[in-house]
Amino acid sequence: MIHIALLLHIYQPPCQSYTILKKIAQESYIPFLNVIKKLSNAKITLNINGSLTELLKTYEFEEVISLINELVLAEKIRFTGSGMYHPILPLLPPEEVERQIQLNEEYNSSVLENFAGIKGFFPPEMCISQNTLNVVKKLGFKWIIADGVACPAEWPTNKYYKYDDLAVLFRDSIISNEIAFKDISAMDLIRKLEVLFEQDYYLIIALDGETFGHHIKDYETLFLEKFINLINENEDIELVFVDDILNLYPSASVIRPIDSSWSTTHENIINEVPYPLWANPVNRLHIIQNKLQEKVYEFIELIKDESKKDKTDTKFQDCYQTVRRLLDKGEFSCKLWWACPEHFDFNIIIEGNQYLIKSAINALKCIMNMSNSKEIKFKARNLYENILLEYQLLLREIGTHFEYKYKFGHF
């Protein structure tokens, strides 16, 4: 028997506009969810970051939420955990990783059916590191998914590896990308699966849910519906949840997955650049943004220490929560992804870092208005000035990149 697990990841950044969200919901979310609804034996493992859930609630896209909940109750969808605002977890301190995961659990559990008690974990962009694995394991998840490039051992077809007691499952990046880039038809994929291995095996396909209908028009019917129908007609292939793999196949040896993402190449690994689209050592925009974020963390530690001194001061506590909410959103990954030359967008870079700047401004206001310590105020002012310097560097670098990009043509 061939067991196929299909994992779809849907996400939008916290700064996404109503207009674009509406377009994506109408082109992708509602159509592909309705395809899953009408098909018998459809089983989808779904990652929806709390950032998207929050936007759907804020802009009252109740149809999307209702469809998801209906499919959960019909046992056609199971969820994974993730980071609330889709941060690159290996770039965060451990306490921030834990916070993002818990925020995601709390918010999604308040909106989505049966979200509490989920077993699996989807790291944003499939970015993993030992630190990420340790936090995910600590929080009680049973499995985590990583890209195939992260596998350091023989490719698992009828077994799964573990990191201590955390199961580590790998997506088939070749087949997933063939689907994502429309390089294979549903029928050709079925034929490929039938002869891929001689023995019983499992295979995990994982890609953005927005692929279906938004990235590729009508792909929810041209591929997704056809693929699931063909599986239903084939006695040798069964669609399963990712969870099911742990029950269908035995565990093998303990491994340490390679630090990587689902955009990492073998060349990147050789060159020790595990997260090329978010922390590339030759990308000045990455370096400056990550340094800016680290300085805001210093500010957060300062205000956190002050907040512990008097928990009855409601003004200070409210201000601290504002600082935290802005930083939580500012950790989202898009500000780094859009800083790559091949898909450069200075608007998203600035929007993302404005969350961090607003967090720093509110932290400064909080300390200057409510702290009695001259030493703490002096330290806060210095931190704020350093953050502003990094932001100025960022704006200057954006201008340099922008000038070069349009040097030979109009925009």
Closest of 10, 47, 16 to residue 29, by C-alpha = 10
195 and 325 part of one domain:
no
Q: 349 lies in a domain?
A: yes
Q: What angle do CA 144, 147, 148 make, to 5 degrees?
A: 115
Domain C-terminal end among 270, 299, 324:
270
Q: Of 206, 240, 270, which residue is a domain's last?
A: 270
Q: Is residue 278 situated within a structural domain?
A: no
In whole angstroms, give the CA distance from residue 316 to residue 127.
35
| Spatial separation of the C-alpha atoms in residues 85 and 208, rounded to whole Å | 16
Please report whether residue 123 resides in a domain: yes
Residues 23, 126: one domain?
yes
Same domain, 327 and 221: no
pLDDT exceeds 70 at position 165: yes
Which ranges of 217-283 would DSSP assign to H, the alpha helix?
219, 226-233, 245-248, 266-270
Per the DSSP assignment, residues forming a β-bridge with 128 are: 260
Query: Which residues, including other chains, have CB under 8 Å from residue 95's CB and lie 6 or more apart?
Result: none
Are 223 and 339 members of one domain?
Answer: no
pLDDT at 248 over 80: yes
Do 346 and 373 lie in a common domain? yes
**In a domain? residue 302:** yes
Q: Please tell me whether residues 347 and 264 are part of one structural domain.
A: no
CB 147 within 8 A of CB 260: yes
Domain assignment present for residue 279? The answer is no
What are 104-158's pLDDT values in tens digits?
999 999 999 999 888 999 999 999 999 999 999 999 999 999 999 999 999 999 9
The CA-based angle 16-214-340, given to 5 degrees, is 60
How many distinct structural domains can be found in the chain?
2
Which residue, 171, 86, 156, 164, is CA-closest to 130? 164
Shared domain for 64 and 171, answered yes or no, is yes
**pLDDT surpassing 80 at residue 159:** yes
Please check whether residues 131 and 168 belong to one and the same domain: yes
For residue 163, which phi and psi values (nearest 5 degrees)? -115, 100
Query: In terms of residue numbers, what domain contains 331?
Result: 284-400
Give the whole-number percent of the chain exceeding pLDDT 90.
87
User: What confidence tier does 3 reach under pLDDT thresholds 50, 70, 90?
Assistant: very high
Q: What is the pLDDT of residues 311-346, one digit of tens each?
A: 667 888 888 899 999 999 999 999 999 999 888 999
Q: Structure pTM? A: 0.95
Mean pLDDT value of segment 66-91: 98
Work out the average pLDDT over 283-309.
89
Compute the half-sphere exposure of residue 337: CA atoms within 13 Å on the CB side of its CA. 13
Domain-embedded: residue 408 = no
Q: Work out the average pLDDT over 375-393.
A: 94
Domain identity same for 135 and 86 = yes
CA-based torsion, 111, 216, 235, 241: positive or negative? negative
**Cβ-proximal residues to 352 (8 Å cutoff; 6+ apart), any chain:** 13, 15, 289, 330, 332, 334, 335, 336
In a domain, 299, yes or no: yes
Give ∠ CA 125-128-134 in degrees, rounded to 5.
Answer: 135
Q: Where are the beta strands (DSSP E) in 39-89?
A: 44-48, 77-81
Report DSSP state, residue 332. Answer: B
Q: In whole angstroms, what is the distance from residue 8 CA to residue 38 CA?
A: 17
Shared domain for 175 and 134, answered yes or no, is: yes
Shared domain for 260 and 306, answered yes or no, is no
Q: What is the CATH number of the domain that holds 327?
A: 1.20.1440
The amino acid at residue 2 is I
- pLDDT grade, residue 217 (50/70/90)? very high
289 and 341 co-located in one domain: yes
CA distance 138 to 166: 9
Which of 218, 248, 270 delimits the end of a domain? Answer: 270
Let me know if residue 151 belongs to a domain.
Answer: yes
Residue 267 has pLDDT above 90, yes or no: yes
CATH code for position 191: 3.20.110.20
